[in-house]
Amino acid sequence: MQHPYVVARELTKAFDAKPVLHDVSFEVRPGDVIGVLGKNGAGKTTLLELVLGFTPASRGRVEVFGHESYRLPGAAKARVGFVPQQDELVNQLTAGDQLKLIRSFYATWDDALVARLIDVWDIELGERVKNMSVGQRQKLSILLALGHRPDLLILDEPVASLDPLARRHFLEQIVEIAADGNRSVVLSSHIVSDIERLANRIWILKDGRLHWQGDFDDLRDSVVRVHLRIAQPLRAQIPNALTVDLGRSHATAVVHGWSAELEAEIAELTGTTPEVEGLTLEDIFLAMHR
Amino acid sequence: MPLHRQLYEQIRRMVASGQLAPGTALPSIRELALTHTINPMTVSKVYARLETEGVLERNRGKPMTVAAQRRAQAPYSVRLASLDLPLENLVLAARQLELDADAVIEALREKWEKSDAAPIRGRARADKGV
Amino acid sequence: MRAVLRLIWTYFTATPLTRGLAALGFLCMACGMVGYLYYPPWTLGNGMRNMALWLQAVLTLAPWLGLVLLFFASSLLPAIVERLALGRTILVLPGARVALLVSAVATAALIATLTALTGVFALYYYPTAIKPENVFGRTLLVVFSDISVMYVALWIVGKTRGIWLLIGSLLIALGIFTPLGVIGRPSGVPAVAWVGIAGWLAFALLLLFGSRVKQTFGRSLGGPVRRARRALPRPAYASGAEIDLPLGTTQPWLVALGQALPIVAAALLFRQPIVWLLFLALLSAVAGAITSTAAARSRVLWLRHGWTRAELFRRVETAYWRYNGYPLGVLLLLYVAIGSYLGISTPQLAFGVPLLALGSVASLYLGLTITRGLTWFEAALGIATMGLLILTAVTIGDKAPSRATVIELELALLALTVTYRTLASARWNALDWMACRNGPATRTAG
């Protein structure tokens, strides 16, 4: 087993004594595609920026490729790609010059990939960045993070302004990286269906804590919807329930920590065998925030 | 309906219905992941599960194929099992409408009898249309 | 008409701050006028009134303070007018363009009229070269034009952030009084009035007939204009510009040239060397405005280069030294050239050179200390530095400058510069890009 690319231990970040992240520990292993979910203000950007070494942790430590992220050496940075929430393109440059500029920072550059994406994404190289639409800028910004074929690609809300076609192309790029098996992606997005497609691991941030993290499969097995036929009103609360909908003759509940024992417990409580329904990531996320 | 489940059911149904004949090569994990833009690990898990269930066969260095012993037709139990999903949906819908099982089964039977020759008729119409 | 009144009302009451400023401004104006009417300043005459001197001073200065307050109370006018004039809504609102134009002119005229009324009272008691019956018209014209020009200045300054905004506002607060001295001179229509009237005419033409002008001349003019714009040098990627492009320091000579214009203009306008030196000293502080955004801009450099934060600081520092060299060079050259022409004495010339150099470098490092947005601390440092620059310039400009004092002041500036560099270096060693970004909106995001 390869060493994880990112290891964070008990990270805490506070701004002016106002904590934004509490005691967060996580790893990014080679080949992982990690989907970061959370409401606005849950701490997603802060978490990503701590990994990138933009800001020191108030407590705890985060290592990227074995180096403390705050003092990341050049060789490690060359393996990192980052797409910020708001692009940081130089307004006065043309798209082509912007590309050349970023390319000059790296020893290796995948010209074929970049040329293909320029073509597919309709990027006009002669156009000034200032005159480009938000979506075009976003595409260029993503392109700049892909050109050096980073081992660790970190994306903070990259698709908000992409049209459906461009978004599809973007998703394909992430699948390509994932298919490589040794490259990792950390993707924060509000488009839960994208994360559902791409991620094999999920981090759910809630109020600055990692409310849930782990394999997507485990999450899907753990949080399920159960349908119950009920003869008389329920005598007790459904254990582990995140949400409960009570009808006249049946009840539905989203429960977490699903297991044979829990099934038995619920069966005993209601007198019927619960029927289990798998949930989409969006349903899971919403249930966790109810 | 989670994506891996959709993919799993889709392949199973296509094999059960004969659309994917035994011996047919399946797309590689990467190809399938790209066409559906889903994580390759999801595809590989679906393939692995179908392999353990005997639906697919792994060939060293070559694409996966539909398992050979299903030449004539899949066993009755397998074909029935591939109805799981639509049945679940039906049950769920009936529950939400607060219908009882007997009424639903009766309605199903009626449909069943009406639709006896339907697939053939349907195909004839489609041909004329083209 | 209702729209015009509503617009004027909006200019003065858009925010609680402007509301407060407007109320204070009108109060000051009223107090000043009452003061001149009923308690005329006799101090220049026989001093018959039995009144405390400080109260007389307050009453005398009140209307002028009122002028500044009212001007800043309406400081949102340029921004509001721009937003409306450039929007599409104005094209579908009935009479909106005329209303917008009238409201803007009326606002400037209102402030000018109030000042002119005070001026009539004030100048009545002071010996001036102009006839009393001309005082009102002349004051009105000068103040109206002055305010109009300052609105344009405010509009430009309003587009900037951080230390630019601070410097710009200070310059405007000082600049608003500069043309007022013209009132008392007996010459014909003052230059500032022509500038003001021409400006309003141009604005009116653009606003009212902008779209038609564009249609008529757009095709014939568009081509050459576009070609001319394309001929202008734009930043482009070239090997070696990897640091400069993200920092925005690729075209130092453009800033140097841009600086030359106001210097020459100021030399023609303020023929007194002392005022001119003061102006140059303040201009040398522009370096700080440019470096104040360096921290936020450097993030992309850190992630894409193998440098530590300390190395990054040294690179950025070098880039800015090179960049700042051009404007500073032009500043010094013009200082020596125009200074000799204006008749600055040799010791004054000798003391002025280190003053300008130190002003430039000190503000360069002051700008670099801004790594966590502009806080009160940096703003106070900026004002203190400018105060020191002004003090030194005034001391040098003295007819018989005390050499010891000047040397002491310049040594103080040097010490300040070294302190800023130490502070900047320490701050960059612990640079936190999350804290760099201005504004609470981005800070709380995500």
Instruction: Decide if B2 and A220 are in contact by the 8 Å CB cutoff.
Output: yes
A14 in reach of chain C (CB within 8 A): no
Backbone angles phi, psi at C97, to 5 degrees: -65, -40
User: Residue A282 pLDDT > 50, yes or no?
Assistant: yes
* Chain A residue numbers touching C303 (CB-CB < 8 A): 52-54, 77, 80, 82
* Chain C residue numbers touching A45 (CB-CB < 8 A): 445-446
Instruction: Tell me what the pLDDT averaged over chain C comes to.
Output: 78
The residues on B that touch A, with CB distances below 8 Å, are: 1-5, 29-30, 33-34, 36-42, 45, 88, 91-92, 95, 98
Instruction: Decide if C236 and A46 are in contact by the 8 Å CB cutoff.
Output: no
| C102-111 exposure pattern, b = at least 16 Cβ within 10 A, e = fewer | bbbbbbbbbb
Backbone angles phi, psi at A57, to 5 degrees: -75, 145
More confident residue, A6 or C51: A6
Please give the share of chain A, as a percent, with pLDDT higher than 70: 99
- Tell me which H or E stretch contains C311: helix C309-342
- Taking CA–CA distances from A171, the nearest residue in chain B reads B37
User: Residue A183 pLDDT > 90, yes or no?
Assistant: yes
Q: For position C213, what pLDDT does the model report?
A: 60
Q: For position A113, what pLDDT does the model report?
A: 93
* Per-range mean pLDDT, top range of A168-172, C74-78, C343-347: A168-172
Summarised one tens digit per residue, pLDDT across range C359-376 is 999 989 998 998 887 777
* Per-range mean pLDDT, top range of C36-45, C219-228, C346-355: C346-355
C310 in reach of chain A (CB within 8 A): no
User: Residue A227 pLDDT > 80, yes or no?
Assistant: yes
**List of residues 6+ apart from C256 with CB closer than 8 A:** C326, C327, C329, C330
Kindly list the averaged pLDDT for each block of 10 residues, start to end, along chain B of length 130. 83 84 88 91 90 85 77 67 83 87 90 64 38
Segment A152-170 shows an average pLDDT of 89
Summarised one tens digit per residue, pLDDT across range A55-79 is 889 999 999 999 999 888 888 888 9
* Chain C residue numbers touching A207 (CB-CB < 8 A): none
Please state, as a whole number, how many other Cβ atoms lie within 10 Å of the Cβ of residue C194.
12
User: Residue C173 pLDDT > 80, yes or no?
Assistant: no
* Chain A residue numbers touching C434 (CB-CB < 8 A): 15, 46, 49, 54-55
- Taking CA–CA distances from B39, the nearest residue in chain A reads A198
* Chain B residue numbers touching A168 (CB-CB < 8 A): 37
Residue C367: name the closest of C376, C378, C383 by CA.
Answer: C378
User: Residue C346 pLDDT > 90, yes or no?
Assistant: no
Summarised one tens digit per residue, pLDDT across range A81-123 is 999 888 888 777 889 888 888 888 888 899 999 999 999 999 9
Q: Report residue A146 as tokens.
A: 């892909």
**Distance between CA atoms of C42 and C125, rounded to whole angstroms?**
8
Segment A244-269 shows an average pLDDT of 86
Segment A147-160 shows an average pLDDT of 91
Please give the share of chain C, as a percent, with pLDDT higher than 90: 13
Question: C113 with C97: CB under 8 angstroms?
Answer: no
More confident residue, A6 or C443: A6
Instruction: Decide if A248 and B38 are in contact by the 8 Å CB cutoff.
Output: no
User: Residue C218 pLDDT > 70, yes or no?
Assistant: no
From A255's Cα to the closest Cα of chain C, the distance in A is: 28
Q: For position C23, what pLDDT does the model report?
A: 92
Summarised one tens digit per residue, pLDDT across range C176-203 is 776 666 676 666 677 777 878 888 888 8
Q: For position C217, what pLDDT does the model report?
A: 59
Q: For position B123, what pLDDT does the model report?
A: 38
Q: For position C141, what pLDDT does the model report?
A: 85
Segment C348-356 shows an average pLDDT of 89
User: Residue C437 pLDDT > 70, yes or no?
Assistant: no
**Distance between CA atoms of A217 and C362, rounded to whole angstroms?**
59
**List of residues 6+ apart from A47 with CB closer than 8 A:** A11, A21, A24, A36, A205
What ipTM does this complex have? 0.79
Question: A238 with A251: CB under 8 angstroms?
Answer: yes
Q: For position C211, what pLDDT does the model report?
A: 61
Please state, as a whole number, how many other Cβ atoms lie within 10 Å of the Cβ of residue C351.
23
* Chain B residue numbers touching A217 (CB-CB < 8 A): 4, 45
Q: For position C162, what pLDDT does the model report?
A: 57
DSSP string, C207-276: HHHHHHHHHHHHHHHHHHHHHHHHHS------TT-TTHHHHT-S-HHHHHHHHHHHHHHHHHH--SHHHH
Place of tokens 């119409």: B125
Mutation for A interface: B41, B89, B98, most A CBs within 10 A: B41
Q: Report residue C84 as tokens.
A: 């409306």
With vertex at residue A197, the alpha carbon angle to CA A194 and CA A202, rounded to the nearest 5 degrees, is: 85
Segment C340-364 shows an average pLDDT of 87
Instruction: Decide if A74 and C235 are in contact by the 8 Å CB cutoff.
Output: no
Q: For position C45, what pLDDT does the model report?
A: 44
Please give the share of chain A, as a percent, with pLDDT higher than 90: 51
**Distance between CA atoms of A197 and B36, rounded to whole angstroms?**
8
A85 in reach of chain C (CB within 8 A): yes
Summarised one tens digit per residue, pLDDT across range C290-299 is 788 888 888 8
- Taking CA–CA distances from B2, the nearest residue in chain A reads A280
User: Residue A193 pLDDT > 70, yes or no?
Assistant: yes
Q: For position B119, what pLDDT does the model report?
A: 46
Summarised one tens digit per residue, pLDDT across range C150-165 is 888 888 877 766 556 6
